[in-house]
Amino acid sequence: MATETNKEAERTDNGGSMPLTGHLREMRNRIIICIVLFVVGFAVSLTCAPRIVTLLTELGTRCNYTFVYIAPQELLMSYFTIAFVGGLVVAAPTIGYEAYAFCSPGLTKRERLYFSLAMVFGLICFAAGVAFAYFLIMPFMLNFLISFSFDVNVTDSISIGEYLNFLLTVFLIFGVVFELPVVSVILTRLGVIRAEWLVKARKVMIVVIFFIAAVITPPDVVSQVMVAVPMICLYEISIWLSRLTRRRDLE
């Protein structure tokens, strides 16, 4: 409370604007808050890491994968990787809020609204992308990849570190892909793109989407279609949101 009072006093003493040193102090304080939340999330996630690893490996064990660690420190490093990701997940809402709070004095009322909505829906879309990958894409991908061992005399012993890195990479890809509607609104608001351009580029983008789906999934039609169709739907949603954003800006 005293900190907020001091900030208001600084703004009042300087004609409603904060001096550079005040901005730097405020930035430092907000960064410290984010770091503390990250450390707390890291510590909590580290204690829960064995259960999280068990949850993630269940995807593979259901597909008859056998997991091993091939270096003494590999399992421990996997726990630290999970803890690092967990720390980022815990700190992400706070990081978004602190960024908003730092920038909000220089934003208009409408820009504050767009900033807030972008943060909220950005987190929701990212979580939806991760959930889509976990529940729908990964079972298909793991089943397809292990099918290559059925006709050869090879027994799978999958490195736990490589397996978790593979899962986290796929989750990140789909989380970012599901951000497409939010990104389209932001770029439309900044005047970088327009809905008309997205409509004209639709055919090309469908080809690009199927190409991306072919790259990030195993070479089977079912997995590619399962990835491509949601991406096309997201593209259509992006067009609609771009039109809506443009219409509101013109009003």
Q: Quickly list DSSP for 154-174.
A: ----EEHHHHHHHHHHHHHHH
pLDDT at 54: 94
State the pLDDT at residue 9: 46
Strand partners, 67: 158
Cβ atoms of 67 and 160 within 8 Å: the answer is yes
For the chain, first and last CA: distance in Å? 39
Q: Which residues of the chain have pLDDT under 70?
A: 1-18, 218-220, 247-251
What pLDDT, in 10s, does the model give residues 124-172?
Answer: 999 999 999 999 888 888 888 888 777 777 777 899 999 999 999 889 9
Residue-level pLDDT at 249: 58
Q: Which residue do the tokens 């050869």 mark? A: 152
Q: How far is CA 40 from the centre of its chain?
A: 20
Q: Domain extents for the chain? A: 1-145+153-177, 179-251
- How much is the pLDDT for 154? 75
> Residue 88's pLDDT is what?
94
